[in-house]
Amino acid sequence: MNQKAKELGLSNTNFVTPHGLDEDAHYTSAYELAVITDYALKNEKFATIVNTKTCQITINGQSRDLSNTNELLGNLNGVNGVKTGFTNGAGRCLVTSTKRNGHQIICVVLGADTKKIRTTDSVKLIEYAFANYEYINVKEKVQNEFERWLSQNAQNIQYYKAKEEQIQYELEKNEITWIPVLKNKEKDIKINVNYNNNFTAPIEKGKVIGTIQVTLEEDILFSSDILLKEKITKKQVGDYFKDFITQHQKYLFDSMKEIMIIH
């Protein structure tokens, strides 16, 4: 579990016990618990289990009914998980996943004194998020800016000693399409392209030559690298000779015509 936490880029999470009971060195944060939840929900079996209100199992030939302890499941619009929890150190905890109109949020409430408080706080946070945030298509905005940059600025980049004359670019692949912003803040979003002007061949395919950043005030909402679509090879002696002939072809042709006329 600690290895997975590192893979997810978590710096405030450490697991000691497999059952989650209190230990000084066993900890996480609300944010990183949300990241873990987001990762776990990509597992279809996990997502199905945490979204199940009741089920019936058989133990030693006897049927038993199990009920989900998540008090919001089935009682609040869009809730599809995830987990309740309690220890003396952590207090009453609830991680809630809610999906409405195709958009999903994860709410984490930790350290509540009572079950009622964790429920009330969770509902307030969930309703606040859906009421005050809207989703913008950041992938579309970045693609439009990338195409504008290609038409206006890409030709200004110099590739010294490059054999290729036509250079192709692409954006790094990113799964993020929608990002939430406070309503009425979309007009304040800025998109900037930063790139280097000079490179020297050879250059490998996938080389980062610039970055497109989407910012709102001082926050970076999204960032995508601009990459070389194909490798750039270095000119050899023969290539320089060919360039010389091509560049001076008309002059040589006109000179040969004059010699022939004189003779």
Q: Which CATH architecture has domain 136-232?
A: Sandwich (2.60)
Residue 156 and residue 197 in contact, taking contact as beta carbons nearer than 8 Å: yes
> Residue 236: its pLDDT value, please?
77
What distance in Å separates the CA atoms of residue 201 and residue 44, rounded to the nearest whole number? 46
> Residue 164: its pLDDT value, please?
85
pLDDT under 70: residue ranges of the chain: 237-263
> Residue 110: its pLDDT value, please?
97
> Residue 241: its pLDDT value, please?
57
CA dihedral 114, 116, 117, 121 (to 10 degrees): 150
> Span 2-113: which CATH code?
3.40.710.10
> Angle between the 249-262 and 237-247 helix axes, to the nearest 10 degrees?
60
DSSP, collapsed to helix, strand or coil, labels residue 231 as coil
> Residue 237: its pLDDT value, please?
60
Residue 10 and residue 39 in contact, taking contact as beta carbons nearer than 8 Å: no
**CA distances to 89, 159, 235, 237, 247 from 240, in Å:** 73, 15, 7, 5, 10
Domain residue spans of the chain: 2-113, 136-232
> Residue 243: its pLDDT value, please?
63
Cβ within 8 Å of residue 51, ≥6 positions away: 73, 80, 81
pLDDT digits (tens, 9 = 90+) for 248-261: 665 555 655 555 55
- Please, what is the Cα angle at 92 between 126 and 113, to 5 degrees? 100
Q: Whose CA is closest to 189, among 141, 252, 128? A: 141
